[in-house]
Amino acid sequence: MKKPSAILAALLLLLPGPAFAHRLDEYLEAAILSVDSERVEGTMRLIPGIAVSSEVIASIDTNGDGLLSETEQQVYTERVLKDLLLKVDSQPVIIRLVAAGFPSIDQMRQGIGEIQLSFTADMPRGGAHRRLIFENHHQSGIAVFLVNCLVPRDKDIQITAQNRNANQSQYQLDFVQGGPVAAPTLLPSLSGFEGAFGLGVRHIAEGTDHLLFLLTLLLPAPLLAYAGRWTKRATVSRSLMQILHIVTAFTLGHSLTLMLSAFGLLRLPGRPVEVLIAVSILVSAIHAIRPIFPGREAAIAAFFGLIHGLAFATALSDLGFGQWYRLISILGFNLGIEAMQLAVVVEILPSLLLLSRTRAYALLRIGAALFAAVASIGWIIERLLNMPNAMDPVVEGVAHHAPWIAAILLLLGLLCRPLRGFRATPSEGVEAS
């Protein structure tokens, strides 16, 4: 992460101000439309994520001088408008720019820069039953599209249906103008659920900091602490229950704050949230090396899940759309997050259980925890001081090869011999070798 009398733009704009809490790895383009009897008005928010910011900046700063001149801004704005198509009753209408605002290049590099455009178009004459079609083809290779329509201020206009394609680059709005409505308006439907679900999957898949926190917290799950160290193996059943508790607690935590934020009941500035997310990874990494809260991992997961939920949320308040559509969007987005999160846990679970029974696990656990700690420290410095993070390419590279890494770990788990001489009494809740 999405918006008003419709669906998924609701998941886009949730935290106050232009800053988005979560580092995005795509070009987020959100459009909000408004119709009345004489015109169509629209606003766009374009937020390049860190991973694609260089490409977007280069397309605007064409002379490469590190500044966005008025001419460069004007040229880019015209390019965006040319990539938009607006039709009313199958008749193309001319889109005219009203205003444009650009962030600094540094803000775009940090993933918090937001380009804001507003435009208008004349509403052609027509009958009572109208159809508006909006298409956005700008930077389609790296973009994530969101689109919605505000509830009409004109009481003679009533929306009857809304439809989007899978990635929301195309949007169709049916409305009645100056006549009786043939059917109840805005009937509850699942419109937008599929797009919100897909966005949630992509959001967590590319949200390396969220997954890194959860996976690092799971590293010691198959173990028990003794004398301030991870020295005992838990039974398989206990390990599975511990993992289930951690994942469930994290899910409940971030689901709660996502819902509260999405409905405007909880707001925090983006920067402190991002810093706290990095801190959560550092805390889980330290715990994976030496137990600092043994047996309370689920409570820690729930606590930091509340913080991560704020980052999942996106500015969705003050847009005037119905509660049903907002609820459907949030539900789809959150279920997408959970589906992707569950898929990652299921993929890594066999390796975790198998390797925890071998002598190699101590090395793997400590090595992975040190990697997470270094990455988290880099993010903390970056988010506090606006300094470049040298670990970003490394983390992204590891994330890109995650399926292969998981396969190799599973193979190692199958090949390595179980650990011998690692005993404990059944009463201690561990397996005797």
d(CA 234, CA 428) in angstroms, rounded, equals 9
For residues 189 and 43, the model is more confident at 43
Are 152 and 204 contained in the same domain? no
Contact between 206 and 25 (Cβ < 8 Å): yes
* Backbone dihedral region for residue 143 (phi beyond 0: left; psi -120 to 50: alpha; all else: beta): beta
Q: In the prediction, which pLDDT does 433 show?
A: 33
pTM of structure: 0.61
**40 and 149 assigned to the same domain:** yes
Q: What is the mean pLDDT of the segment spanning 133-138?
A: 96
Q: What pLDDT, in 10s, does the model give residues 317-339?
A: 433 344 555 677 777 778 888 88
Report the number of distinct structural domains present in the chain: 2
* Pairwise CA distance, residues 338 & 201, whole Å: 8
Is the domain of 321 the same as that of 362?
yes
Statement to judge: residues 159 and 220 lie in one domain: no
pLDDT digits (tens, 9 = 90+) for 20-42: 334 446 788 989 999 988 899 99
Average pLDDT for the chain: 79
pLDDT score, position 16: 32
Q: Does any domain span residue 17?
A: yes
What domain range is 275 assigned to? Answer: 198-428
Domain membership flag for residue 62: yes
272 and 409 part of one domain: yes
Q: Is residue 433 part of a domain?
A: no
Q: Indicate whether 173 pLDDT > 80.
A: yes
Neighbour order of strands in the sheet with 96-101: 96-101, 115-122, 39-48, 27-35, 143-149
Given a cut of 60, whether residue 14 has pLDDT beyond it is no
Distance CA 306, CA 254 (A): 5
**Residue 344: both structure tokens together:** 């990652």
